[in-house]
Amino acid sequence: MFTASYRYNGRMIATLSGVVSEKLPDMVVVECAGVGYGVQVTTEDFARLQQGEPAKLCIHEHIREQSHDLFGFVQLDTKQLFEQLLGVKNVGPKVALAVLDIGTTAEVRGAIAAGDVKRLQSAKGVGKRAAEQIVVELRDKVGLPAGDGAEDIVGRPGVDTQDEAMEALITLGYTPQDAATALSKIDKDLPTEQRIKAALKT
C-alpha cells in the first residue's frame, strides 16, 4: 500500500509514500512497507504533515562518504527550488532548507528575483555574502513554474491582465499594488523583459 519509488541515475529515491509515524525535532519519519525513513523537511511542511496520517514526499538524496540524508518536500516546485539553491556556490542542504523557511516557495522566489538580500539574510546561517551569491546566481532562474499561481492573477483588483510584465511580477510574489507602483516608473514602450528587469531593480 505504501511505497518508495526508485530511479537509477545516481540517486535512487524519487518519492516516499507512507504514514508519518513520528515527528522529531529535526525531521519526520515516514514508514513505508515496514521501513521508517528519516526525512528532513521545511518548517512549513513539518506543520502540514500530521503524525499517523498518510503522506507523499518528493525526495532529494544528499549522499556523502559518511552520510546519506533525505530531504522531503510536499510540493515538487519546492524541491526544485531547493535543488537550485544547492547549485549555488557554498550553499549546502542545511542552508538551502533554512532559506526555504523564510516564507512560502513563491515568497522565496520573489525575494531572490527582487534581489532582497536582507530578506535572505534572515535565514539561519545565511550571511550577507551568501545571500548576495544566491541572488547573483539565481536571480534570472527562479521564475515560478508555468501555470503556478497564474490562474489567481486574473480578476484581481488593479491588475491589468493585458500587461505581461505585471502578471510576471505578481507571479514572482509582488502584490498587485507593488507591481503597479514599480511599473508606473518604467517606460511602457520598452519590451516586457526589460520592464520586468527594471521593476525588479527598483
Residue type, 44: E
Question: What is the predicted pLDDT for the residue at 173?
Answer: 65
pLDDT digit string (tens) for 167-187? 777 766 677 777 778 888 888
Evaluate whether 4-73 and 76-138 have a shared fold: no
Question: What is the predicted pLDDT for the residue at 12?
Answer: 76
Q: What does pLDDT average to over the chain? A: 81
- Whether the per-residue pLDDT at 146 is higher than 70: the answer is no
Burial class (CB in 10 A: 0-12, 13-18, 19+), 41: buried
**C-alpha cell belonging to residue 10:** 545516481
3-state secondary structure of 26: coil
- Residue 50 CA to residue 170 CA, distance in Å, equals 31
3-state secondary structure of 135: helix
Residue type, 97: L
Give the pLDDT band of residue 101 (cuts 50, 70, 90). Answer: very high
pLDDT digit string (tens) for 25-76? 889 999 998 899 999 999 999 999 999 999 999 999 988 777 789 999 999 9
Q: Tell me how many degrees the CA angle 128-134-46 measures, rounded to the nearest 5.
A: 95
pTM of the model: 0.66
Taking domain 150-201, whether its CATH number is 1.10.8 is answered by yes
CATH number attached to the domain at 76-138: 1.10.150.20
Phi, psi of 168 (to 5 degrees): -65, -40
Are the CB atoms for 180 and 158 separated by under 8 Å? yes
The full set of domain ranges for the chain reads 4-73, 76-138, 150-201
Give the pLDDT band of residue 143 (cuts 50, 70, 90). Answer: low
CATH architecture of 4-73: Beta Barrel (2.40)
